[in-house]
A and B are shown apart, each in its own frame.
Chain A
Amino acid sequence: MDLSYTAKQNAFRMEARSWLEENAPGEPLRSFDTPEGFEDHREWEKKLHAGGFAMVPWPKEYGGRGADLLEWLIFEEEYYRVGAPGRVNQNGIFLLGPTIMEYGTPEQKARFLPPMASSEEVWAQGWSEPNAGSDMANIQTTALIDGDDYVINGQKTWASRGAYAHWLFGMFRTDPDSSRHNGLTFVLVPLDTPGVTVRPIEKINGKKAFAEVFLDDARVPRANRLGEEGAGWSVAMATAGFERGLMLRSPARFQNTAHRLVELYRETRDQGVFIDAGLKDTVARCWMDAEAYALNTYQTVSRLLSGGKIGAEASLNKIFWSELDITMHEAALSLLGARGELLSGAPAAGNVGEWLDGFIFALAGPIYAGTNEIQRNIIAERILGLPRK
């Protein structure tokens, strides 16, 4: 156990820091759940890509810099340090990208990874259907083979950033006689395919954060299949592991929020405003939990670097970060008192509106990426070994 960084790691940190300090936008971009904001974010991604920082752990040929996972954590720390924009293509770069790296053919890697790294092509995730939420094995949308194509019929829903994305990845029933986990195949679908209709859905703050996707005799080449025919479930579980586990929510994000919460506490205290007596303790707990998450991640990464694998433990992470995110934002709103309910645009809101936005966002954490109840089932059965039936 040696918790110090090597000279090479420190040099990489400094390189990332100076690039980000110079290039990251000083002001928050418009929300990526609006058409303008979506484009702002793609512009930023293009710049990040040109700087060589779009996806540091990827091989150079796909637009990365061949960094290891520790360097990726370092990059994330620097990214959140300067408050750089949220990643508009996170479903692509953090979830599908690693899945393609593991299951894709050389042609698929060459075709899909570079424009993903630059956000030339932004990806939406298409698992959920009206009758397949937690019960994802109940997917009913079919993709039937016809010559060199799949012909897809059915409906996906809740696809984040689906309103503006270019591509959708998901699981479809390629064997119409199959049921549950069998007969499902992982397919990549261009959203401009004839027969595809995207209908945005507004989330509780009215922003078009996700979309329903209707597929009506949509033809997609069979070459867009990722992994084996009928093996969609196991490919999808790899993607879900990336989502719940490491990639989607790196610790710096929460350390940054925890740090801002401490600052907010100090400012509020120094203004002599009323503060609930328990809040100092809550703030400190949030800070501790964000640190615990960072330490746990470093331990996991060290294990992965020495050949270990991430399995059901990803479910522990998902519960921990999603609950922590809510607790931190609730604490901030309590500190803000009456100002906490102001929208970002309100004249008296100043820069505190981000807490409300963050709170609304955090509330979805225990629902997406597999609800926390589902994660608890996984922990109980797969980690603790409690009986299923």
Chain B
Amino acid sequence: MEFGFSEDQTLLGETVRDFLQAECTPEAVRSLWDTETGRSDEFWTRFSEVGVPGLLVPEAFGGLGLDERDLILVLEETGRVGLAEPIVSIAAGVPLLVSLGQEGQTALAEQWLPAVATGEARLALGHDGSPFVADAHVADLIFMPHGDDLHALTKDAVQLTAQPANDQSQRLFSVEWTPQEATLVATGATGRRLQQEALDRGAMACAAQLLGVAQSLIDLGVDYASQRKQFGVAVGTFQAVKHRLANAKVKVEYARSVVYRAAHSVALNTSGRSVDVSMAKVAAGEAATFATKESLQVHGAIGYTYEQDLHIWMKRAWSLDLAFGSGAWHRARVADAVVDGSLPAETFGYTPVAS
């Protein structure tokens, strides 16, 4: 039993943090908002040089062959800077390709995994929880569900309609496509299982990003409240201000271990995986959306302006909270599991006496 990160894992997180803090500044985020795709191929290439998109790609395909326990701190860092590139490609798309390879789609895995590792290809993922697909416009391969079936579609097989969203960093699309034999990659129970796994992985990645977003919202609130003076003192000396930020901190810290455990459950594919992921999504989503309100309030009017950077993270909090199953959906999934026994919900450490 060891609930912590190794030196290598911590170092990887720190390396990516340094990289992102230099590359993904608020100015960089804003300048991408004004471009047509909202995405930077150049950034993605450099991100690949650091190794991030290939983290989960097996070594045989040119990746680092790591697992979610190595990835989770990296994902948290992407949230901290408000990065909005197709993270799902890394966290859910890659493992899906690996699984498909194991299920007989070897050519598909061989074709795409090395390209994802080098940053030449990006993946997008549709799922039953949302009518839209994020980042479909920059994806080279898009996975779409059709009942239990799963299809893998290249750009030429889809028609995209952009759906502008509140979060300018978020790029959503409606995808028109026709299921065909040639695009079918998994069916029946396998297709259902892979869809489920991909959804859990996408949700886990959102939860990790939400942790980072929540912490940034608190940090911005602390910075501002320490500088802004009213009544001759910094507003951060007022308890009403302090306690708002303290409450947000409690929520983030109690979401943290839940998110890290979800990474462990996904990496080892434990029987409680889906519920563990839902708990992480709920806890991190609530921490981040709560922090939006507290941080905005302690900023006062300036926080409500387009000019102030606060809304970069507020909008990330809202959009990530909805992505890969809304907080409400995940909460209901936990409630059904815990109360009705619809999914295995395992307590950590403590085992109740069977009734």
Contact = CB atoms under 8 A, between A and B. Distances in A.
B339 A284 contact: yes
Contacts of B335: 280-281, 283-284
Contact of B237 (A9, A280, A302, A388): A388
Contacts of A255: 347-350, 352
B242 A294 contact: no
B254 A1 contact: no
Interface string B252-281: 011111101101100000000000000100
A82 B243 CA distance: 38
Given A295-B348, A296-B253, A284 B261 contact: no
A289 B254 contact: yes
Dominant SS among interface residues on chain A: helix
Contact of B4 (A1, A263, A293, A386): A1
B350 A294 contact: yes
B218 to A, nearest CB: 7
Interface string B66-109: 00010000000000000000000000000000000000000000
A210 B246 CA distance: 31
Nearest to A298: B3
Interface in A370-386: 373, 375-377, 379-381, 383-386
A4 B249 contact: no
B157 interface: no
B279 A291 contact: yes
Nearest to A323: B250
Interface stretch (A70-78, A166-174, A342-350): A70-78
A295 B350 contact: no
Contacts of B5: 1
Given A266-B339, A379-B249, A380-B243, A252 B349 contact: yes
A313 B353 CA distance: 32
Nearest to B221: A384
Contacts of B246: 375-377, 379-380, 383-384
Range class of the A interface residue count: 35 or more
Contacts of A316: 249-250, 253-254
A387 B1 contact: no
B180 interface: no
Contact of B350 (A77, A292, A299, A302): A77
Contacts of B225: 386
Contacts of B348: 3, 255, 291, 294-295, 298
Most buried by B among A2, A252, A288: A288
Contacts of A259: 347, 350, 352
Given A77-B349, A288-B283, A296-B256, A1 B339 contact: no
Given A291-B347, A302-B1, A283 B283 contact: no
Nearest to A21: B353
Contacts of A377: 239, 242-243, 246
Given A287-B338, A299-B4, A385 B352 contact: no
A182 interface: no
Contacts of B317: none
Interface residues of B, number: 53
B347 A384 contact: no
Contacts of A386: 222, 225-226, 236-237, 241-242, 245
A198 interface: no
Nearest to B345: A287
B254 A256 contact: no
Interface string A317-335: 0011000000000000000
A6 interface: yes
B230 interface: no
A81 B353 CA distance: 6
Contacts of A127: none
Given A4-B1, A380-B245, A262 B279 contact: no
Given A77-B351, A291-B258, A295-B258, A383 B249 contact: yes
Contact of A1 (B3, B243, B282): B3
B339 A299 contact: no
Contacts of A296: 253-254, 256-257
B287 to A, nearest CB: 11
A236 to B, nearest CB: 23
B34 interface: no
A199 interface: no
A387 B245 CA distance: 13
A251 B347 CA distance: 11
A5 B2 CA distance: 9
B35 interface: no
Interface string A1-33: 111111001000000000000000000000000
B234 interface: yes
Contacts of B339: 262, 265-266, 280, 283-284
A24 to B, nearest CB: 11
Nearest to B251: A320
Interface string B135-154: 00000000000000000000
B289 to A, nearest CB: 15
25 contacts: A1-B5, A1-B264, A9-B1, A70-B1, A81-B351, A251-B349, A255-B347, A255-B352, A259-B347, A287-B334, A288-B283, A294-B347, A294-B348, A295-B261, A299-B257, A302-B2, A316-B250, A373-B243, A377-B242, A380-B242, A383-B246, A386-B237, A386-B241, A389-B233, A389-B237
Given A262-B338, A376-B247, A383-B249, 7 more contacts: A3-B2, A252-B349, A266-B339, A283-B339, A288-B258, A301-B3, A384-B245
Closest 8 interchain pairs by CB? A380-B242, A284-B335, A295-B257, A379-B246, A376-B246, A255-B350, A386-B236, A259-B352
Interface of B: 1-6, 9, 69, 218, 222, 225-226, 233-234, 236-237, 239, 241-243, 245-247, 249-250, 253-258, 260-261, 263-264, 279, 282-283, 331-332, 334-335, 338-339, 345, 347-353, 355
